[in-house]
Amino acid sequence: MQKTMDNVWCAVREGGVVILLAECEEGSGSKVLEETCRKYGSPDAIKEQLEQNFAIGANKAFAVTRLMKKAKYILVTALDKQLAKDMLFEAAVDTVEEALAKAEEIVGKDYKVILMPTGSLTVPLLKK
């Protein structure tokens, strides 16, 4: 999931919304990631803690949440919804339709869409 988030970050506008489809059938993949996000609650606080006391696993929390400073991330997932919120996702929903409705609440109805079906393998190059 992090690779996809890194790649889509290159394409999303400041203040935009990313809808990430990730089943997460095995959870987040890291208890340390979950605990770090819960304990510190923001990308800046996580970064500050890592600078003072680096911990393997906690760096993953920063790698994921730092991206959320640019855009809101909505997760379409089977992951526990509270866990997703704890991990600083804007929302976690069950369907793409719910995610689109939530995105419209944030950015309005006039928006552009970029689809990245293989997000972990796609690095967008934007032309001006």
Among residues 57, 70, 81, 94, which one has the least CA distance to residue 13? 70
pLDDT of residue 74: 96
pLDDT of residue 78: 92
| Rg of the chain (C-alpha set) | 14
Among residues 123, 125, 128, 1, which one has the least CA distance to residue 60? 1
For the beta sheet containing 91-93, the strands, ordered from the edge strand earlier in sequence to the opposite edge, are 17-21, 72-76, 91-93
Burial class (CB in 10 A: 0-12, 13-18, 19+), 49: middle
Taking the mean position of all CA atoms in its chain, how far away is CA 64? 6
> In this structure, what is the dihedral angle of CA atoms 69, 2, 73, 113, given to the nearest 10 degrees?
110
pLDDT of residue 117: 85
Where residue 105 falls among pLDDT bands split at 50, 70, 90? very high
The mean pLDDT value of the chain amounts to 90
Question: How confident is the model over 27-63, as pLDDT tens digits?
Answer: 888 899 999 999 999 999 999 999 999 988 888 898 8
Where residue 4 falls among pLDDT bands split at 50, 70, 90? confident
Host H or E run for residue 92: strand 91-93
As assigned by CATH, the class of the 2-121 domain is alpha beta
Whether pTM exceeds 0.85: yes
* Distance of alpha carbon 46 from alpha carbon 40, whole angstroms: 6
